[in-house]
Amino acid sequence: MKKILFTLSFALFALASVAQERPKLVVGIAVDQMRWDYLYRFYDEYTTGGFRRMLDEGFTCENCQINYIPSVTAIGHTSIFTGSVPSIHGIAGNNFMIDGQMVYCTEDKTVSTVGSDTKAGQMSPRNMLATTIGDELKTATNWQAKVIGVSFKDRAAILPAGHSADAAYWFDKKALCFISSTYYMQELPKWVKTYNDRISGEIKQLAKKGKDTPVIDLIQYEPYGNEITVGLAKAAIKNERLGQGKTTDMLTLSFSCPDITGHRYGTHHEKTHAQYIELDKQLAEFFRYLDDNVGKGKYLVFLSADHGAANGILQNQAHKIPSDGFFIDKEEPALNAYLREHFGLDSALPNDNFNLTKRIMDYKVVLDRENIRKWGINEDEVKKAIIDYFKQRPGVNYCFDLERINDASVPSLIREKAVNGYNHARSGDIQIILKPGYYGVWKQIDSGTTHGCWNPYDCHIPFLLMGWHVEHGSTAAEVHITDIAPTICNLIHIQMPSGCIGKSVEQVND
């Protein structure tokens, strides 16, 4: 009997030990605007050490979908690392409403810039309402783990790292250096200052070669922007000794330049092509760095994207594919003119504000409730008039009241994405769904592109894992961006983030 009890006790102890086993370092990578098909469009040109290494050694979810709208940067980065959606985590767009005022997603005027004299560091994660993987890792290790976020964009460094991160660093486009915020620290670490000094010389040389081209363009539209981002990530691993202690650490790393390039040049431009070929080489070098400095098999890395991108309107039209622009700069005044006429407001005093809407934001119309009350108009009648107006507009497939979404005659997939993306305190009021191939543009259609809609080109993203306890394989089963965080948390045995609605991908954890 004693022998049986001893054996049972030993087995339970062994199970407990396994439950506490974690990698030395978790690295979460987001590639801004990376369509899933870029894994395969450029596959033959990739090295064996970057994207192909993740495909050949790791696990890939081939059908990872974004399950909300709008599919934009701030939301995507937040959803990857919280396992949640805008209706819960509160990041309802790159810009959204708080107390009736437009705010930038990470705007925080209570903090100051660290590392430059600009206002680019007045940022923090305080507008985010849920925890991240990093927050839960800190909690699980009694705040012994180090968590650091690095990106070219502020929101892509801040939101993934979470509330309790030790640091987040992003690039100041005016000062041309990496900065942070007093939310995290009062002064940049010496190693960040040293890194900034080093790239300052490189940027000066770049400017000389570029002649009349703005130096920021030479950085963000060329491989150099990604190069200095991953360089800072490696410097953080070395100088903060990430993955070298007794507890698991985490690095969040976002590559922003593919998005900046894609917006300007489009999905099939040589600039976009070159970004991915060079990014693949940079990833290969980064993975070798992790092998050498953390240890192959001792770190867990996962890679995804905050959103995809539509093929350009001009490109589609050239190949007879239905596509056109939804001109926001024209639609906003035209809508308000229609509403003024509809409700007979044109006879009001010339100096009064007639407008019953504030703006069109992420394909949502924002009501001006103050003016609606001022003119004594029933809000439901205004909503109905807006919906009737847009149902007649070319390029619009559906238009519905987000407070009454269950009454809308729309496909269930679109309904679910709209519900998940709607935060009643921060989003607009009337949802506009465009026809496939149509998207919002300002002023004129150019050769670039954008994103933000429900369609597969915007919402089908990569999700790959490699390293610690990840077996080689793939699944074609549909998973969601919100499943990434619980999958990682399950692998490293920590609690899911506080607003998580996703489920751990079973095939990864078999």
Q: How is residue 464 written in tokens? A: 């790959």
Which residue in 47, 60, 73, 357 is the catalytic one?
A: 73
3-state SS assignment for residue 284 = helix
For 324, phi then psi, to 5°, come to -170, 175
| 47 assigned to active site | no
Residue that is written with structure tokens 């080489």 in the block: 281
Among 415, 365, 370, 368, which residue's Cα sits nearest to residue 388?
365
**Which ranges of 83-168 does DSSP label H, i.e. alpha helix?**
86-89, 133-140, 154-161
d(CA 481, CA 80): 6
- Going by C-beta distance under 8 Å and a sequence separation of 6 or more, which residues neighbour residue 49? 283, 284, 285, 287, 288
Between vectors from CA 159 to CA 145 and to CA 508, what angle results, nearest 5°? 65
- One DSSP character per residue, 321-370 reads ---EEEEHHHHHHHHHHHHHHHTT-TTS-TTS---SEEEEETTEEEE-HH
Q: How is residue 492 written in tokens? A: 């490293």
Report CA torsion sign: 271, 276, 280, 283. positive
Which residues are identified as catalytic? Answer: 73
